């Protein structure tokens, strides 16, 4: 039996996400953080731009995950309760405390 499947059923892809902070998962990974320029205003501005980019990427990822059905989330091993841990560092404080960090 062959049935055609619409291409848009397979076009969804998850952003690069981790359930917990990636620094807790792999001790040998290279840091991907770029050096910020040193100096008063330039450093302040660079930090604000980096924070905005992070916030924007997280909002996009949360929006895509929110569009997924419960079944799709279950297929990737998530549920809606996991969203807080994925996007809020304060929610992972207990994991860091158990990991000795």
Looking at the predicted structure, is the pLDDT value of residue 19 above 70? no
Across the range 10-19, mean pLDDT stands at 59
* pLDDT tens string 39-95: 789 899 999 999 999 999 999 999 999 999 999 999 999 999 899 888 888 888 888
The number of helix segments (H) and strand segments (E) in the chain equals 4, 0
pLDDT interval class at 96 (50, 70, 90): confident
Rounded distance between C-alpha atoms, residue 71 and residue 87, angstroms: 21
């Amino acid at each position: 039996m062959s049935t055609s499947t619409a291409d848009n059923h397979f076009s969804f892809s998850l952003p690069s996400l981790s359930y917990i902070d990636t620094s807790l998962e792999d001790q040998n990974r290279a840091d991907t953080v770029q050096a910020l320029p040193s100096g008063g205003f330039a450093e302040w501005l660079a930090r604000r731009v980096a924070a905005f980019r992070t916030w924007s990427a997280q909002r996009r990822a949360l929006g895509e995950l929110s569009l997924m059905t419960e079944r799709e989330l279950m297929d990737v091993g998530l549920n809606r309760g996991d969203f807080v841990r994925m996007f809020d560092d304060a929610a992972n404080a207990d994991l860091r405390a158990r990991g000795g960090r």
